[in-house]
Amino acid sequence: MSEPVPTSLAPTSLADVRNLADAIRTEVAKAVVGQTETVEHLLIALFSQGHVLLEGPPGTAKTFLAQCFAASLGLDFGRIQFTPDLMPGDILGSNLFNFQTSQFTLTRGPIFCDLLLADEINRTPPKTQAALLEAMQERRVTLDGQAHQLPPHFMVVATQNPIESQGVYPLPEAQLDRFLFKLLVAYPSLEEEARIVTRFGERAGPPRIADFGIGAVTDAAGLGAAAQAVKGVTIAESVVDYVVRLVRATRDSADLSAGASPRSAVLLANAARARAALEARDYVLPDDVKALATAVLRHRLLLSPAAEIEGKQVEALVADLVAQTEAPR
């Protein structure tokens, strides 16, 4: 099993960031078959300090992937299984009165961690979903008027079933906008599914991460150093202008009743910088923006009634907007 990276070996250059990302990919691949694009987006979100929403049908290893990703990072990992009867206090915690000391004592909920897996987040009502809003935006939790800080690299990886599934509650627009990426986890290819059956078919019971020897290749200090290295990536004024024009184009489309927010432009630029860092580049290319546009924008856009009747897809509309928006050369 791999040992955590000592603080002295924490990433100090973009080449170190790329090597760290390669090490994380290697650890995750010990257990997860395929999902290379999803892992790539998780890495970009990690290094740009964003949150990720994974959507796909049951049984496509969304939860298992998130667990393997967390195991490779050496962080404090928390998990919440969202259910219809879950209450905000079950997530955040509460102040309980201690009769022996005659004082209130803070009982922290599972949200007090480095990486939180919000499993099947759309299985719980909006009131409980909203308990994550402050934590995702400001990385803090307020209980009885007192603010409690979360780690600076606090990250939410949420999973959800498609909206057409039974017993789900759509996420509020304000919460969707706090996710950097929405990633669609599809069924594996024929070859990948055969490898999955070969790898897991002979095991009794559900797979356990400990059985695959996934080890932490970094720690909180290492991720902090990586984030500092990513800050060295520059984004030219022309690329900033491209990002802004692309996001604003979503608000002018007749096929969309709601466009993307200014927050999405900021997140898209930050994610593009992280993508450049994973390639050990200290500058952002327009191709970085194009590659991430769909994952950043798909959950922020609402089709107009006419577009819904015509059967149009948000992803196709984003692709059209990317093609129509002139990129710098």
> Which pair of structure tokens corresponds to residue 107?
């009982």
Is the pLDDT reported for residue 273 higher than 50? yes
Q: How far is CA 165 from CA 41, 56, 58, in A?
A: 25, 10, 10
Helices 14-29 and 36-47, axial angle in degrees (round to 10): 140
User: pLDDT tens digits for 39-82?
Assistant: 999 999 999 999 999 998 888 888 888 889 988 988 888 899 99
CATH of domain 7-227: 3.40.50.300
The per-residue pLDDT for 178 is 92
For residue 311, the SS3 value is coil
Locate CATH 3.40.50.300 in the chain: 7-227
Q: What is the pLDDT of residues 122-175, one digit of tens each?
A: 888 888 888 899 999 999 988 877 888 998 889 999 998 876 555 678 888 888
Q: List every span in the chain annotated with CATH 1.10.8.80.
A: 234-324
Element spanning 317, H or E = helix 314-324
Q: Tens of pLDDT along 96-122?
A: 766 777 777 778 889 999 999 999 898
Mean pLDDT of the chain: 87
CATH of segment(s) 234-324: 1.10.8.80
The two structure tokens encoding residue 33: 């078959």
Q: Judge whether residue 1 has pLDDT over 70.
A: no
DSSP codes of every residue in 110-156 = TTSSSEEEEETGGGS-HHHHGGGHHHHHHSEEEETTEEEEPPTT-EE
